[in-house]
Structure 1
Amino acid sequence: MTTDQLYSELNYVNHSREKRLYYAHLVINNPDLIPKLLEILFKVDDKISCRAAWVLEFMCSENLNYLIPHLDDFTKNMHNVHLDSAVRPIAKICEYMAKAYYNTKPNTIKNALKREYQERIISVCFDYMIRDEKIAPKAYSMNTLYLFGADYDWIHPELVLILERDFQMQSSGFKARAKQILRKLKK
């Protein structure tokens, strides 16, 4: 399948779990489509890029290892994504990676997630925290930053500052997640 053919196929992806899963499995069964999916995802001003992000998120939820050969490309370009419908899946994938990295069970992400990739993830998560993003990317980013704070001393103090500063101005969803994170940080 060419990039153009995949682009056309993504027109059929919608908000339903069934469609997202169907196309995620299509990509999992054809890993040569991953670079093409990323190419479409990083056409950041195109509405179809959001659909590529949805498929990538579902692929990663099924098996994060498929993204490993593409971590450099993904982490280099994820900061360019700006459409709300695409930002949320990017933040969720970052959280998947952080959770896998800090999982107590051995896994391939622990070796694959180089320091430079971690730093790019940390950077994009802080961007989501300080930009005018919706609650979901902020919530995923809070958790990602909390996890990476175990290895980066400066993250937790910065995260506390942002959470406390923005607490009163944010939604109830933000406040609920922020309270959870702040409780963990103050232990």
Structure 2
Amino acid sequence: MLHTKSNSDKMSSALQLKLNYVTAYRENRLKVAQDILENKLFFEELVAVSFSPSDKNNHKACWILEFVSYEELNWLQPHLDFFCANLKILKDESAIRPIAKVVQLLIKSHYKKTENSVLLSEENLQDCIETSFDWLINDTKVATKAYSIRTLYVLGNHYVWIHPELQIILNKDYADHSAAYKAVAKEVLKKIK
């Protein structure tokens, strides 16, 4: 009996082909993100590949997920349990940075409470808090740390213990970091005080 590919298998192959040709150039990433925005059927697999570190296109999927999230953050709503529970499995900095930005977008949206807000469960929020602190204190690049600082600042407006912890970390690490880190730390420390 001949096995024919299902539509989802064809979509999977099509997404992987698109990801194979993604480069770090912004225009290139935007084009693939636009393809996803025009065909939502790719989105579920995009999320899955974003959290599959063994997939050669993992970091590229994360780049695209960030761009898609700027336009359609609410598409993540049915995937939030998976997304938040798997934040810790990411180890490649090229994957972590865009996902840290998506976490920041999710947290801001959750607390905006508008018609199109994304709603995170308490467990989702705890996963975001824990992972953001991990990214802040571990050896990640400055962009990831900056997104984490801003995410934790917003969360600290709703969890009383976060701002004091964040303040301690930022004051302790301030001298050891780049000008970019110092600028974000200074901005957030000023808001906390």
TM-score (norm 1): 0.92
RMSD: 1.5
State the SS of the aligned residue for 1:159.
Answer: helix
Largest Rg, 1 or 2: 2
CA distance in 1, matches of 2:115, 2:93: 31
State the SS of the aligned residue for 2:106.
Answer: helix
Gaps of 5+ in 1: none
The correspondence for 1:93, drawn from 93, 98, 102, is 102
Residue 166 (structure 2) pairs with residue 159 (structure 1)? yes
The correspondence for 1:179, drawn from 172, 186, 190, is 186
CA distance in 2, matches of 1:153, 1:13: 42
Percent identity for Structure 1 against Structure 2: 41
CA contact (8 A) 2:11 2:41 kept: no
Question: Shift of residue 8 of structure 1?
Answer: 2.2
Match of 1:68 in 2: 77
Residue 124 (structure 2) pairs with residue 117 (structure 1)? yes
The correspondence for 1:41, drawn from 50, 58, 81, is 50
CA contact (8 A) 2:50 2:62 kept: yes
Within-5 A mapping of 1:7-156: 7-103=16-112, 106-110=114-118, 112-156=119-163
TM-score (norm 2): 0.89
Question: Shift of residue 136 of structure 1?
Answer: 0.3
Gaps of 5+ in 2: 1-9
Number of residue pairs aligned between Structure 1 and Structure 2: 184
State the SS of the aligned residue for 2:140.
Answer: coil
CA distance in 1, matches of 2:131, 2:40: 26
